[in-house]
Amino acid sequence: MVGRGIRDEPWVFALSVVGSALYGIGTAGSGWLLGRVTDSVLAPAFTTGTLEAGQLAWAVVQLAAVAVFTAIGVVLRRAAAGITMYRLQARYRRLVTRQYLRLPLAWHHRHPAGELLSTANADVEATWQVFAPLPMSLGVAVMLVVGVVAMVAADPVLALIGLAVLPALMAVNTVFQRYMSPRVMRAQALRGEVSAVAHESFDGALTVKALGREAAETERFATVSGRLREANIAAGRTRGLFDPIIEGLPTLGTLAVLVAGALRVRAGAAGTGDVVQVAYLLTLISWPVRSLGWVLGELPRTVVGWRRTNGVLQAGGAMTHGDGEPSGTGPATVEARGVHYAYLAPAREGAGPDEHLPVLHDVRLDVAAGSTVALVGPTGSGKSTLASVLVRLVDPQDGQVVLDGLDVRTLRAGAVASSVALVAQNAFIFEDTVRDNVTLGAPVPDSEVWRALEAAAVAEVVRALPEGLDARLGERGTSLSGGQRQRVALARALVRRPRLLVLDDATSAVDPRVEAAILSGLREGIGSVTVIVIAYRMATIALADEVVYVEHGRVLGRGSHEDLMARLPGYRALVTAYARDAADRARIRADEAGSPGRAS
């Protein structure tokens, strides 16, 4: 993973290593220079009792020059290391989010949104965080080499005494990483769980509040965040135990050098400058070992972050495309040929392989250009799944979907989306203006936006807003009713002039009269289009040229409403039950309003 990061940003990373090398040379050189200044300026001054101003000024100039040299290395190292890290994080956030958009809905169904957000943010950040200390740990190897050579040159005996600390320091670092790694890995994994629970709770805020489940959701979040807290505390305890030891060992080595050095100076075996040089350099070269510890401390988080990030980048199932183009320019024809589809339900940990849940079985359906077809069936019969297959949000495990006579798998990327539009029952509205919710940033003139709003029977609602097309609709369209949100979503589809329009119960929250006006006015208001509508209401079914009845993932019949009523008991029971329920609800509303018929 580190090698991949270096290959992605070779020049900036190399610059950071150069800066670190300059810092190492300057820091180690300052120790050597301090020893020479001590011998040539300070020690004679203590002996003679006088200090020459010229010598002192020259020593100050030399030390200042080394300090400036070292500072340049520090700035270069930190700036280049930061740029490397942030570039890598930005690059892989883009790669992850592009992969999210590239992967089909079938993959997203198996991965919670909170977990995906955590991967795009926390995991990517953790993956490349190691590049902050990494250049220093590589570059200060120069410091280590220069420092050791300078120590040995000054006094081999004192150098050996001081360097005896390094093996102990490395051993403690190794033990530290062995204990720290599993704790940090667990904490990083739990961050994804916390994000997933939080996202789910916030996304379902309406349900939580409506059912009075605030306390239960708070407790659920507290449980998983408590596990993260305990994992972080465990990692903190481990660091708190080893940090004083790692920090203290170089100090003990320095004290040993000073004691031994004082004895050697008294015996005339070493000079004062040599003792100062070795002691100072020993303090300095402990930093390279410490910086390696920082890198090793980041690696557990890096490993977990990279595993989760790379798991997304390597995820299979992305849709294949060819270079074909839909041949028609008017209403599209669409056909399902022996389509089979099953959802993949992830098995619980340790419970065996993932489970396939079949939904569609050998579905055969052809829709003529310009026709309006109503898909009718009980809840769970596979209607919405069939709609997703027809617009290629998912690909069937077996069979073909053919658009204008071409298998959709052979069409170029984006070709289906340019010809087909799906409007779902749960309309998603962005926290943005009416115009941007309809155009989604596409360069569409306002006249076309108003035309789509008129066709969706929501233009009057928009005109009534204080800012018209520039009115902001709030998060998820909180300023609109359910039916208005559905109509804005319908306008979003219509403004693209689709050749095939699939309405997945997309007018369920709309008054039947408005729904009838929308469906009957589609051709006149927006141009010729093939329409597939998932319907329950008689008012909707009556507008269709043909009705297709789906049950248990199979097409059991197709024809006119009257034909299916006569020969399919399941269809008859479903439609009459829905009509009877709708009539009962209308009567109840009339009673509550004190209708004239009730009063008489």
Q: Which backbone phi and psi does 316 adopt, to 5 degrees?
A: -90, 180
Alpha carbons 276 and 257: distance in angstroms, whole number: 9
Which are the contacts of 416, defined by CB distance < 8 A and separation ≥ 6? 391, 392, 403, 408
DSSP structural state of residue 324: B
Question: Could you list the mean pLDDT of each consecutive 10-residue stretch along the chain, which spans 600 residues?
Answer: 86 86 76 72 74 77 84 86 90 90 76 78 84 74 72 79 77 78 77 76 71 79 88 85 76 80 80 75 66 66 81 77 78 87 63 66 88 86 87 86 87 84 80 83 85 83 83 75 82 85 74 69 64 80 85 88 87 77 59 48
Number of helices followed by number of strands (H, E) in the chain: 25, 10
pTM here is 0.65
CA dihedral 462, 467, 470, 474 (to 10 degrees): -80
At the fourth CATH level, the homologous superfamily of domain 334-346+355-592 is: P-loop containing nucleotide triphosphate hydrolases (3.40.50.300)
H/E run at residue 366: strand 355-367
Q: For residue 94, what pLDDT is reported?
A: 92
Q: For residue 92, what pLDDT is reported?
A: 92
Alpha carbons 97 and 230: distance in angstroms, whole number: 31
Which CATH fold would you assign to the domain 2-313? ABC transporter transmembrane region fold (1.20.1560)
> Residue 421: which of 344, 522, 509 has the closest Cα?
522
Alpha carbons 26 and 68: distance in angstroms, whole number: 9
Alpha carbons 16 and 9: distance in angstroms, whole number: 11
> Residue 332: which of 424, 411, 420 has the closest Cα?
420
Q: For residue 90, what pLDDT is reported?
A: 92
Q: For residue 579, what pLDDT is reported?
A: 63
Residue 510: CB atoms within 10 A of its CB come to 22
Q: For the chain, what are the domain ranges?
A: 2-313, 334-346+355-592
Q: How big is the CA angle at 572 (ends 569 and 577), to the nearest 5 degrees? A: 125
H/E run at residue 11: helix 10-37
Which contacts (CB < 8 Å, 24+ apart) does range 4-11 have?
Answer: 5/84, 5/88, 5/128, 5/131, 8/87, 8/88, 8/91, 9/84, 9/87, 9/88
Report the amino acid identity of residue 27.
T
